Every structure is written in C-alpha cells, then in structure tokens.
Amino acid sequence: MTWQETHKVLLVEDDPALHANIKEALTAEGLHTESVFDGTLAEKLLQKHSYRCVILDINLPGKNGYELCRGLRSRGADTPVIMLTAFGDLDDKVSGFDAGADDYLTKPFYMRELLMRVRALVKRAENREARGPEQPVTVGDITVYPEKAKVMRQGKELTLTPREYQILLKLLKNRGELVSKRELIKEIWGSAFDANTNTIEVYINFLRNKVDKPFGKASIKTKVGFGYYFDAE
C-alpha cells in the first residue's frame, strides 16, 4: 500500500469554502480524507475510528476544538492534531497546546504549509511507534511512565497539561544536563512558536508550582541566559 492509502485524515472545519479547499488539497495528495462540519459528529468519529492525523478548527458548532482535543487525549490517543483558528494571539496558541494539540495554524495559511505539517506530524508519530514502548524515567524521587503519560512524585500522581508533561519529560531525560529555551521550543512546539516569546518561562513557572512547591523542592533550575535543568539533589 502507498503512503497515502495508509494515512487516513479527519478534517473538522465548519467554514464551507475553507473546508472544500482543504479537502481538495488533501485529496489531490492522494490522502483518504473524512470530513465533517461540526464538533458533535467529529467526537463520534474520533471515538469509533483511528486516524493518522486530525485537522481541527477551534470554533465549531456543538463541541469546540479545545473540547474535542481534550477528549481525544483523555482517552489516551496520541493521534497528531493540527488546530486551525482565525486568532493568532499567544493565549489562543497556549490554550490549543494545553488541550493537547501538536501544531497550530492561523488563518489564512498556504495549503502547501498545511500539507507539509501533516506529513511532518505523521512521520514523527511513525518514528515514535517504530521505537516501541518507552521505559519509565526515574530521577531522584520522581518517575514518569511515558506509555501512560503518568508522573509520580513521592507516591503521589501529578496532574499536568500535555505541554507541561513534555517539558518535564525532556528535562528528566537530560538528567541534570542543561536544556536551552530554543531546544525546548523546537522539540515541543516546532515552528509554531517564536523562540523569543516568554512561553517557556510561563510553563516552567506552572511546573514549579505543580512539581516542586507541594513537595518543598526546588528541582527545576534556571541558568539565566542559557536554559533549564532538573536537579535531583
């Protein structure tokens, strides 16, 4: 089977013209595309079927894109999700990523860029599958179970957003080695964020409040001008 035949895409967009244009572009690439115009029907499809990628508008009738993405992640699905929105504010992007989105495109956008991002996300997911199950990562008194996206510290499970979890896992895997702000943004947000934003600082603060503060710890360290590291001591 060809790459296109094995990669089914779900398109959820309520604007008729844009919906038609995206579906035409995906079909022209040979991608098998299922498409719907509202969040309620999209949720039913996501519960019954698996997809290689979901292209998801935020403002939808029925359930919105944030709700759909959170529901997908709560069921343990790691299907790549690209969110589409007419808004480009940082807060909107943060909300999308916190809901579990993998990428973000602000309207209007070039169809070629959308197709490139679909391919990149699918390839990343395939590489993850090829590596097989990830083993638990333990540093000091904290353990992460990647297969369940579960984080434990001193016997207590921590509740993190998808992006908080990814940042923490990256820091833990580096086992005390410095991780630059640019490296974190590139790995976790890809091209969707400018490395000059204060997004990472905001998330590091969130993490400290959830991972360190309740346990009287100061494990997540900042080296000003360089980056961040996890100090198990």
Map out the domains of the chain with their CATH numbers. Answer: 8-131 (3.40.50.2300), 137-230 (1.10.10.10)
The enclosing H or E element of 180 equals strand 179-180
Report d(CA 138, CA 126) in Å as an integer. 25
Q: With a threshold of 0.85, does the pTM exceed it?
A: no
Residue 227 region by backbone torsions, left for phi larger than 0, else alpha for psi between -120 and 50, else beta: left
Q: Which residues contact 217 (CB under 8 A, 6 or more apart)?
A: 211
| Residue 39 burial class via C-beta count within 10 angstroms: exposed 0-12, middle 13-18, buried 19 and up | buried
Q: What local confidence, expressed as pLDDT, does residue 233 receive?
A: 76
Contact between residue 185 and residue 200 where contact means Cβ atoms under 8 Å apart = yes
Q: What local confidence, expressed as pLDDT, does residue 221 receive?
A: 94
Mean pLDDT per 10-residue interval, the chain, length 233 residues: 63 95 91 92 93 93 93 85 81 80 88 89 75 82 87 92 87 92 78 63 90 95 91 85
Q: What are phi and psi of 230, to 5 degrees?
A: -105, 120
